[in-house]
Amino acid sequence: MPVAAMLCNPRHFHKFLLHVYKQFMKLRTKLSKLTIFLIIATIMLLRVGNKSNLPTLYIVPLIVALAAKYVIGDLDKGFVWSWYDVLFWLYALAIPYIVIQVYILLW
């Protein structure tokens, strides 16, 4: 059924809003789990210390993002690339980067 037809019929509009709300709640739950994992994993890696040639500012977000992809998984279902994957990688790389900047400022 086209979106315009769903929005005109009150019964279909209610189902549409309910579907959008459920999708938002799933995404919010997944993002909160992902955020907690990213922060904890970043702090744990910062406490270990960097013995490699690569700067901590670049290697730790990459390691944490890959670990999050492995442990938490994606924001959507299936093996098809979508905008959720772009959001996942931007978020999974940005949060550890921010945590490292705050960690450097405080310690």
Number of folded domains in the chain?
1
Task: Report which DSSP code applies to 52.
Answer: S
Distance CA(2)–CA(6), nearest Å, equals: 6
Chain segment 49-106, per-residue pLDDT in tens: 899 999 999 999 999 999 999 999 988 887 888 888 999 999 999 999 999 999 999 9
Asked whether residue 14 is domain-assigned, the answer is no
Asked whether residue 93 is domain-assigned, the answer is yes
Domain that holds residue 32: 28-106
- pLDDT of res. 55: 94
Q: Residue 61 in contact with residue 100, Cβ under 8 Å? A: yes
Chain segment 5-47, per-residue pLDDT in tens: 656 677 777 787 888 888 888 888 999 999 999 999 999 999 9
Q: Residue 45 in contact with residue 64, Cβ under 8 Å? A: yes
Asked whether residue 1 is domain-assigned, the answer is no
Distance CA(29)–CA(36), nearest Å, equals: 11
Asked whether residue 87 is domain-assigned, the answer is yes
Asked whether residue 16 is domain-assigned, the answer is no
